[in-house]
Amino acid sequence: MKPKSTIYRINYINHNQVYELYAKKISTNSLLGFMSIADIMFDLKDGVVIDPIEEQLKAEFSDVEILHIPLNHVLKVEEVKQKKSCKIKQLHSNKMTTTNSQSGSTP
């Protein structure tokens, strides 16, 4: 019986966006301070329905054999049972709004 291959879901920050990719191999051994991602997975559908984000990512990483991401940009890595659609989300800044309060008596 053939052993099941591991699938990783990697979320990382790239130009104020969160990229969610799926890959078969990850490592932190190649370059100090970087995570190496190999065998990036994309859907190979022959149907009419095309996911534009998946197609954009497939084009962006078409010639990439190994992707090296700075460790401080990696948000999380998960081992998953199956691949879903790759995603790109806008990174939301957590700006905290404060009010200026004055102590003392009111005018």
* pTM for the full predicted model: 0.77
- Looking at the predicted structure, is the pLDDT value of residue 94 above 80? no
Contacts of 61 (CB under 8 A, 6+ apart): 21, 40, 67
- The more confident residue out of 46 and 51 is 51
Q: What mean pLDDT do residues 33-57 have?
A: 84
